[in-house]
Structure 1
Amino acid sequence: MPDLPAAAAHPAPADPIVDVRGLGRSFTVSEGPFLRRTRRTVHAVADVGFTVPRGAIVGYLGPNGAGKSTTMKMLTGILSPSSGTVRVAGLEPARQRTRLAARIGVVFGQRTTLWWDLPLRDSLALTRHLYHVPATDHARRLAELTELLELGPFLRTPVRQLSLGQRMRGDLTAALLHDPELLVLDEPTIGLDVVSKSTIREFLLKLNAERGTTILLTTHDLGDVERLCRRVMVIDHGRLAFDGDIAALRDSAPAPRTLVVDLAAPTAPITVAGARCVAVEGPRQWLELDANPAAVIAAVAAEHEVADLTLREPDIEEVVADLYRRPAGERGRITA
């Protein structure tokens, strides 16, 4: 994958690109039989606060109905907050939506901003006019993105004939043609095959590293999180349940670490302080750790001839699922 030009890198002022304080959004819903309907207030987002520094890649996770899409809609100006404040790139999204659109790019994985019956190239040309991008800048950026995302073979193909992976690359290009400071992605790899996912993930990493573009994404694909995100926030029942890095998220889970020990020869189950043997297969043994891994490894090495050691962290999917399952009283915000 070729490099992006250094001159295109975004500056990084000290102020955060996203600043959310006490953010809330409520909806009124009607329930019950037609003649006896009652009205109920639903708090989709309640007292959420966080900042995102420029140049970061942040994952915003949560189960269906947790409030993540509502939060994204408030950040992009589609919805107005019921309470609290939100500023993105120094602007109030709902009040300054047109100005904000020139500063951010948005991609919704299940929806497209491209014109269905037009060739991809024509859709991208119309996008240029929407954002008032000068023709020379458009041509340069389109050439760069065409090479980086390998759009060349299907630029003349009508959007309706593109595969899901090709359309997603087209949507990413449309969102980036005006060189936004912030890229907001909602399920960017949903439904994609392994190759397409890898292409998009590597592109996003390069975009962030070489241009300094801030990326905020929601996803159910925890492979996206582990490959892309330096920080994750987990929202559940409208409130932040976690805000920190991947290591801190794993540390918040009750699931123990596992030490896989390959011995020089089969032996009885290993017995050392701070660990318990949970499986034996020939010379390989699995130890669940209750203590510092370094202490356990030292104890094992002192008593046995070891060929290899592997420390396995709790699976990130299990960790996030555990956060969702916790009782309401334990869903308070956890920070790294």
Structure 2
Amino acid sequence: MPDPVPGVPAPVLELRGLRRTFVVREKAGRLRRRRRTVEAVADISLRVEAGEAVGYIGANGAGKSTTIKMVTGILVPTAGEVRTCGLDPVPQRRRLAAEIGVVFGQRTQLWWDLPLRDSFRILAAIHRRPPADAAERTRQLVDELGLGPQLDTPVRQLSLGERMRGEVAAALLHRPRLLVLDEPTIGLDMISKERLRQFLVAERARSGMTLLLTTHDMGDIERLCERVLVVDRGRVVYDGTLTDLGAAVALQRVLVVDLTGPHAPLQVPTTEHRGSELEGQRQRLAFSPERTTAAKVLAGVSAQAEVLDLTLEEPAIEDIVRTLYSRPGHASGPPV
């Protein structure tokens, strides 16, 4: 990559022609095995500036986690270049560790059998934080994430929501410039998700850190990210705002309402009735956020029947990617 231009801020993340392939062995008969090359990341080029909040989304197997592993120095690229916080992630991995924080939803950086408090102390020592600074930063994160009652509990005894809040605190102890979150809310209930989202919004506003988020939860993207990158088969097929993505693929949400009794199919303006269950006690109404809001749809339902409970279903990432690929003119080039 070219040297930085004096006076021009360097990007926090820069990828050029990034590729990663794997060789897998598979059966080719009773006694034979053959090798096959799998291309996890085909050709990704992107740039993330300081302070941006970027959602990096795609279907399972699209290449998201492989990209994250190359960005953080866990994997070596097959081809192409990557700079994270101005550093080459693999040879400068130790320096990079001081600049980034990483949370993998399916893995832990906490010590399983130790109290949460001890994990924070060990991580602060690993990052060589001055004792006074480490104590103050730990207190701040514990207070804001509501972890006080869990500090003396072994990590293995924490609930999933408590552990994920602990993981985020651990990733932020050393005040990284870049926070990478890989499926941070997977398996969390709605209250735990919202608490974590509120904290991340406040932390970004305060510190100006850059956020790179991979998730299958569109609620995470909507609450946390200003920019969205959609990746499919190892290539970026969309780069823009969530609003523009919604307009491009006509994203629809579905309001599922449970009524107090049987009811005929609901007719609410600007919605599409997607079906009824239990003699109409549960009904599904699809709507476009560009045309109306969930509150207006609910008001339309309440005017016709008494609502007992409701849920809001977000569009699936797989549906977003499928719609992008079915758009006219896609074959001429990805919408980036």
TM-score range, shorter chain: 0.7 to 0.9
Mapping of residues 1-336 of structure 1, within 5 Å: 14-32=9-27, 33=29, 35-253=31-249, 281=267, 285-286=269-270, 311-312=291-292, 317=315, 321-324=319-322, 326=325, 330=330, 332-335=333-336
Structure 2: gaps of 5 or more residues: 1-6, 254-264, 273-289, 295-312
CA distance in 2, matches of 1:158, 1:286: 51
Match of 1:299 in 2: none
Secondary structure of the residue that 2:249 maps to in structure 1?
coil
Match of 1:219, as an amino acid?
Answer: T
Deviations 1:163-204 (A, max 9, x none): 111111111111111110000001111111111101100111
Structure 1: gaps of 5 or more residues: 1-11, 258-278, 289-309
CA distance in 1, matches of 2:252, 2:92: 48
CA distance in 1, matches of 2:204, 2:134: 20
Cα distance, 1:64 vs structure 2: 1.1
Deviations 1:272-307 (A, max 9, x none): xxxxxxx983xx53389xxxxxxxxxxxxxxxxxxx
CA distance in 2, matches of 1:181, 1:13: 17
Deviations 1:209-261 (A, max 9, x none): 1100111010011110111110111111111111110111112215699xxxx
Cα distance, 1:313 vs structure 2: 8.0
Is 1:59–1:229's contact at 8 Å kept on the other side of the alignment?
yes
CA distance in 1, matches of 2:271, 2:119: 56
Bigger radius of gyration: 1
Match of 1:126, as an amino acid?
Answer: I
CA distance in 1, matches of 2:314, 2:168: 27
Could you state the TM-score of these two structures normalised by the residue count of structure 2? 0.78
CA distance in 2, matches of 1:79, 1:118: 29
CA distance in 2, matches of 1:255, 1:111: 31
CA distance in 1, matches of 2:176, 2:222: 24
Distance 1:313 1:83, change over 3 A: farther
Secondary structure of the residue that 2:31 maps to in structure 1?
helix
Is 2:53–2:227's contact at 8 Å kept on the other side of the alignment?
yes
CA distance in 2, matches of 1:214, 1:170: 20
Identical positions, percent: 52
CA distance in 1, matches of 2:252, 2:96: 45
Cα distance, 1:320 vs structure 2: 5.6
Cα distance, 1:15 vs structure 2: 1.6
CA distance in 2, matches of 1:199, 1:77: 30
Distance 1:43 1:117, change over 3 A: same
Secondary structure of the residue that 1:118 maps to in structure 2?
coil
Secondary structure of the residue that 1:208 maps to in structure 2?
helix
Secondary structure of the residue that 1:26 maps to in structure 2?
strand
CA distance in 1, matches of 2:188, 2:266: 38
Distance 1:81 1:319, change over 3 A: closer
Distance 1:189 1:254, change over 3 A: closer
Is 1:280–1:286's contact at 8 Å kept on the other side of the alignment?
no
Is 2:216–2:316's contact at 8 Å kept on the other side of the alignment?
no
Distance 1:182 1:38, change over 3 A: same
Match of 1:249, as an amino acid?
Answer: L
CA distance in 2, matches of 1:330, 1:200: 36
Is 1:250–1:316's contact at 8 Å kept on the other side of the alignment?
no
How many residue pairs are counted as aligned between the two chains? Answer: 281
